[in-house]
Structure 1
Amino acid sequence: MIRIALITLSLSSVSAATLAQGNSSLVQAGMELISAYTLNDAQVASVAKQAVQQMDAKYPVAAANDPYTLRLNRIVARHQKVGNLPINYKVYKTADVNAFATADGSVRVFKGLMDLMTDNEVLAVIGHEIGHVANRDSRDAMKAALKRSAIRNVGASQSGVIGQLSRSQLAGMTDYIVGASFSRKQETEADDYSYAFLKRNGYSVMPLASSFEKLAQQGGSGGPAFLSTHPDSKARAQRIRDRARSEGIAR
């Protein structure tokens, strides 16, 4: 009910302003606001794909024959799809300790994280990030970011429609992707997804715990977005270890 009221109010404001000023850009911005509230999964994936393409142009991407690419390809060789979603992997050759996955199936791993982690720890982190996609956290966060962008555009009388975002709008989306944060519940569920993913595919779950322990040693600075608002990495690692012991798969 609140969403409907907000959309109606925004459209009414846009329509009144348009009648008074003849400003067509306000109509377009108003339609963008409505679209942001009614986006389907395919549209969110399309926006995510546009944003990632811009990021791939911004960050130094490891070439196909680069040792980092070859290592990542080896790590994820068995995991080219998650459910029905094809996954595309790339390495950003920057020192940041980070990784992310987006609603279109793009997974990007930063060189700094690969330098810090073993192969199985990298896979555990990727499992966590894909968990946010599988649990639709990434979709919902992207929709929220698009709503905020649309509302700003209404206020600023800017043009542009969802699906064909301007360069400046895409820049906002790329900032969101790198710095995205999720609720504690969403983080726990993504941890559980990675745990189940590792277990289901015959890997040890312990690298998930040790990845958190390594990130805890980073002191919370320069760490991946999924830890930025939840610095209790040691507690998360202990939770994984306790669960593994309770299931008899670790001492």
Structure 2
Amino acid sequence: MKKITLCFLLLGTACSINAQKINLGKAAGMVSNGAKALTFTNEDAIKLSKESVEWMDKNNPVAGPKDPYTVRLNRLFGKHKSQDGLNLNYKVYKVKDINAFACADGSVRVFSSLMDIMTDNELLAVIGHEIGHVKNQDTKDAMKSAYLKAAALDAASSASSDVASLNESQIGKMANAFLDASHSKKQESEADTYSYDFMKANKYDVVGAYTAFKKLALLSQGSTQTNFEKMFNSHPDSNKRAESIKKKAEKEGLWKDPGTVTLPAAKLTK
């Protein structure tokens, strides 16, 4: 699994330690610096993200309504479908990548292998982080870049500065193109803050955000130059992010020592 832009990646990182992959085509070529000339609105980002997610939903295994993964996500996420002025929809992808993402149109997708290793509070922290990316509109520039790659356009030299419709093949390329990009450390930090505030406002245990980052840190250890580790290099250090949450929770009297954080030996599907 590669990094996600429009569909924003799990706490700023992804994992491809297993053989099964989310189903995506090859990305189109790079776009020149002239792409900034394209007129591109938040509405365009929303429209194109919706098309991209619909394509991914058709090309990847989605947990059914009675699947234990869906039942669990409904229990956790159902009350947050209308959150902070956003209309959100969510599904579970039954793939081995450890990830989650949110898109400009409010689509949130959580991967079953992530649910296997995260407790309820940790998943809620992840969900809060993804909602933060949507609320903060961290999608526009990334979606523009993905669109231009998929359409093989250079906005500076194209005949029109308007966003055109894409065919099915181009939508698949766009889905892959935004998986190839990342967002800034500042955006990640702001989404971390949103997640913490989301947990606090809803009276969830904010320590879940701390332990989620500690687990991500554990996943990044023990192997050199893996895709997972390479992606960590472009994002804030997970241990440092965990410590930042701990300091904030201690200051606000919300810290409860979770003890040593380890990766579970069995799936946490309930």
Q: What TM-score comes out, normalization by structure 2 length?
A: 0.72
The residue that corresponds to 1:250 in the other structure is 255
Structure 2: 5+ residue stretches without partners: 1-33, 257-270
Q: Give the equivalent residue in structure 2 for 1:17.
A: none
The residue type equivalent to 2:245 in the other structure is I
Closer, same or farther in 2 for the Cα pair 1:227/1:139, shift >3 Å? Answer: farther
Q: How does 1:167-178 map to 2 (within 5 A)?
A: 167-178=168-179
For 2:113 and 2:130, how far apart are their aligned partners in 1?
16
AA aligned to 2:106 is G
Deviates more, 1:191-200 or 1:36-45: 36-45
Per the alignment, residue 29 of structure 2 pairs with none
Please name the residue that 1:66 is paired with. Answer: 67
The Cα shift of 1:131 comes to 0.9
- The structure-2 alpha-carbon separation of the partners of 1:114 and 1:226, relative to structure 1 and needing over 3 Å to count, comes to farther
- How many angstroms does 1:232 deviate by? 1.1
For 2:56, the equivalent position in structure 1 comes to: 55
Does 2:90 correspond to 1:85? no
CA apart distance, 1:172: 2.6
CA deviation after TM superposition for structure 1 residue 240, in Å: 0.4
Residue 107 of structure 2 is aligned to residue 102 of structure 1: no
Shift of 1:231: 5.9
- State whether residues 49 and 104 of structure 1, in contact with CA within 8 Å, keep that contact through their aligned partners in structure 2: yes
Runs of 4+ displaced beyond 4 Å: 33-36, 147-151, 153-159, 220-228
* 1:249 maps to amino acid: L
Tell me the residue number matched to 1:233.
238
**Residues 97, 224 of structure 1: 8 Å contact kept:** no
**Post-superposition shift, 1:57?**
0.8
Whether the 8 Å contact between 1:101 and 1:129 is mirrored in structure 2 is: yes
**For 2:118 and 2:109, how far apart are their aligned partners in 1?**
15
Matches within 5 A, 1:183-194: 183-194=184-195
Q: Which residue of 2 aligns with 1:216?
A: 217
> CA–CA distance in 1 between the matches of 2:145 and 2:72?
35
**Over the residues paired in the alignment, what is the CA RMSD in angstroms?**
3.0
How far, CA to CA, are the matches of 1:216 and 1:167 in structure 2? 37
Q: Identify the residue that residue 30 of structure 1 maps to in structure 2.
A: none
Letter in 1 for 2:237: D
User: What's the offset of the Cα at 1:173?
Assistant: 2.1
- Gap change, CA 1:147 and 1:164, over 3 Å in 2: closer
Counterparts of residues 123-202 of structure 1 (less than 5 Å) = 123-149=124-150, 152=153, 162=163, 164-202=165-203
Tell me the distance in 1 between the aligned counterparts of 2:198 and 2:228: 23
Contact 1:181 1:228 in 2 (8 A): no
In structure 2, the partner of 1:39 is 40
How has the CA–CA distance of structure 1 residues 180 and 113 changed in structure 2, closer, same or farther, with 3 Å as cutoff? Answer: farther
* Contact kept in structure 2, 1:99 and 1:224, CA below 8 Å: no
Higher gyration radius (CA): 1
Structure 1 gap ranges (5+): 1-32
Q: Letter of the aligned partner of 1:246 in structure 2?
A: K
Counterpart secondary structure, 1:235: helix
| Cα distance, 1:113–1:47 mapped onto 2, change above 3 Å | same
AA of the residue aligned to 2:123: V
